[in-house]
Amino acid sequence: MKLYYSPGACSLGIHVLLEEIGAPYEAVLTNLREGAQLKPEFTAINPKGKVPALVRDDGSVLTEYPAIAYWLSRTHPAAKLLPEDAEAATRAIEAMDYAVSTLHMQGFSRIFRPVNFAPSEADAEAVTARGMEIFQKGLAVLDKALAGKEYVAGSYSIADSAVFYVCFWWAGRLKKELPANLAAHYKRMLARPAVSRAMTAEGITG
């Protein structure tokens, strides 16, 4: 397998999952800051122009965080990345989708790239504020979901990798405080060897 990633991007969560399953893979740097995702070499692999992208051993390509995470969990059952219990598995997918589609795409995207959402540059500040509002509300929802639990679905799952990367953006990048349950989860994730290996490989710290 071959993972196309950018340091500290959402692909970090997939990088963590690959380390968790222990299967051979190659990590290929795709520097978003330099616009590598828009160059023909990358768009030939993923015409969507974004990471993560996973080239499987048969040469086929998977894109989109939830799809890649789900496929890894189903094809490497020994890693136990998705609970066997239907309710727990559903809750894991629910939390993963919320982290990716709401906190990331609606919240952090507005914080990090307000011009993509603003009619004019004068509106950028209001867009950023709205992104912060969405993100903080999302953190509160996830914090409640973690009440009394070490991991989102009870046991470690694909959901935790997604929750981890959005918390990394908040606590690691923006240096902001996480709610209590999420702060404990973030600390727990940082202590996992797979997380440490992925972050070391990407040259980032929490």
The per-residue pLDDT for range 84-143, each reduced to its tens digit, is: 999 999 999 999 999 999 999 999 999 999 999 988 888 999 999 999 999 999 999 999
Percentage of the chain with pLDDT > 70? Answer: 100
Query: What is the model's pLDDT at position 120?
Result: 85
Please provide the distance, in angstroms rounded to a whole number, between the alpha carbons at the two ends of the chain.
26
CA 23 to chain centre: 20
Whether residue 54 is found in the same domain as residue 102: no
Are residues 96 and 36 part of one domain?
A: no
- Residue 44 is part of which domain span? 2-80
62 and 110 assigned to the same domain:
no
pLDDT at 79: 97
> 92 and 67: one domain?
no
Assessment of whether the complete model's pTM goes beyond 0.85: yes
Query: Are 105 and 185 part of one and the same domain?
Result: yes
Q: Which of 58, 80, 102 is the last residue of a domain?
A: 80
In CATH, what number is assigned to the domain containing residue 42? Answer: 3.40.30.10
Return mean pLDDT, the chain. 97
Number of domains present in the structure of the chain: 2
Residues 144 and 176 placed together within one structural domain of the fold: yes
End of a domain among 60, 80, 100? 80
pLDDT, one tens digit per residue, over 196-206 is 999 999 999 98
Identify whether 202 is part of a domain.
no
The pLDDT score that the predictor gives to residue 123 is: 92
Can you give the pLDDT at residue 166?
A: 98
Are the C-beta atoms of residues 21 and 72 closer than 8 Å to each other?
yes
76-86, pLDDT tens digit by residue?
Answer: 999 999 999 99
